Structure 1
Amino acid sequence: MSKKKEKAHNLMEQGENKAELDLDTCGIKVEQHGICAHVFCLFFADSHFQKRPRNYAHLGLFRQVIEKAAQKVCFVCHQSGATITCRETGCDCSFHLPCATQGGCVTQYFGLYRSFCREHRPQQAVDVVPKVGTTCFICLEPVDNQTSYRTMVCPACKHTWFHRDCIQNQAVFTGARCFCCPSCKNKYRFSMEMLTMGIRVPRRPLSWENLHANAEVSGRHSCCDSRECLCPGGREQAQEEGPWQLLLCCSCAAEGTHRRCAYLRCSTASWECNSCADPIRAEKTLQDQPYSIPE
């Protein structure tokens, strides 16, 4: 391996380690020429990946993104390999996607997949402040005395306050189909505001529905859901390792595939089903509603 390629590999490995524990933030891994990256890291890095999300190696863009990242330093962790740059004109502030929340940045998981540093991030346009003693509607812990990066309010009812981390966890838990204000239940205005403020709302069923369904079949999904199962033993046949090991979706755990059926390498440790891994379709529509998300 050349020194240049080895350096690029090390940089992407740093970002990979940062994102290892949060696939909901960074998406699934893709590999090109032995170098791994996460889907959303690529989407925020270059608009070409958004247009052709299933062809990550198109025109050598994968390598170009890596080379650009090698020249940028994350303002949060001060390490190289920062693939994301603030979209504000004239701002060259760069950061890793896993470092975004720690640095107070906003990453918008829809449309053009825009990112903003803490200085240029969008703010909630509300004229209310929480009353003394107001707590987060979700965790019941105190919130800040005004809207901030950490403290948010429902734009519809304007009296339901919550922490950013709490509403993000709820979005991951419910998915786009049922995501709404936890108090007034407003869906459209609330979802649009949260997406703009950097909350990722994945398109997938309720997590508790998946858990309930899995509990009825020995507590774990146990068959291959690929369109064409190639396993000689059938969809329910699985080995502990190798091409016929059954991988469950790392996001919803409601679907599975044999490595060979999904054309994955034997070293691949995680997989995401089509419903969870299609961010373009997910953020353009919520619950199949006929509207487009405004820029």
Structure 2
Amino acid sequence: MYDRYATEKLIDLWLTEDIGACDLTVQTMIEPTEQGHFVMNARESLIVAGIDIAARVFQKYDPTLAVEVHVADGERVGKGKVLMTVKGSARSVLTAERTALNLMQRLSGIANETARYVQAIEGTRAQLIDSRKTTPGLRMLEKHAVLCGGGLNHRLALDNGVMVKDNHIAVCGSIAEAVARVRRKLPVLTKLEVECDRVDQVREALAAGVDVIMLDNMSLPDMAESVAIVAGRTKVEASGGIRLETIRPIAETGVDYISTSKITQSAPAVDIGLDEA
């Protein structure tokens, strides 16, 4: 889920950053008339994310390049799978290569990591969601990669929903007062979530009629108690310090959502290469 217009602008920035004034290597080594036939391949098993954008990197740098995409975002492929073929000016392919590969390796790595977390909570009611802890400039695409891996998106940006956190509550004096202030101006189709780190706050947020209650860094017994208190009257999200080895017991407390930054901040890039056919 990303906007084509926005990504076009990003591609310009990425190429400018990597190329500088010119690709000195190809300019001094390869003749303008020399042609190439290259394949982008998976060097390990992975979930594809960003393939169409990577194709656009090549095409935007040189519209004469013939680019053929062989897989789709969200597809799980094995080692050796050909993801894309690129034919045309050897200079152009080799100049745009690193930008396209960097994008694919990063986004597919996020999709891979997301899938690991989703698998860890399979069979529970909990759904995995991401956070706003993303790489500056890449949030839209990293959140798209989360979807490719089977997760869901939390807020896309600060204007996408209201999240009342501990510092907001401190300024307002209480959860009830903070929620009352928000309700006076909140757009009618926008959700309101309140962060709670104690069970008594859960009761207060529930009484205030919020849309989602976040359980922040709570113990497993407190999470289970909070879920019992809410009893399905609103959605409950667990957050804070979520790791692959801890996510299953958290899901088993009965929460609706589990949010973690690990799937974006800590996802290792996958190995994808571009080789001459």
Q: Report the TM-score when normalising by structure 2.
A: 0.27
Structure of larger gyration radius: 2
- Which structure is higher in RCO with an 8 Å CA cutoff and minimum separation 6? 2
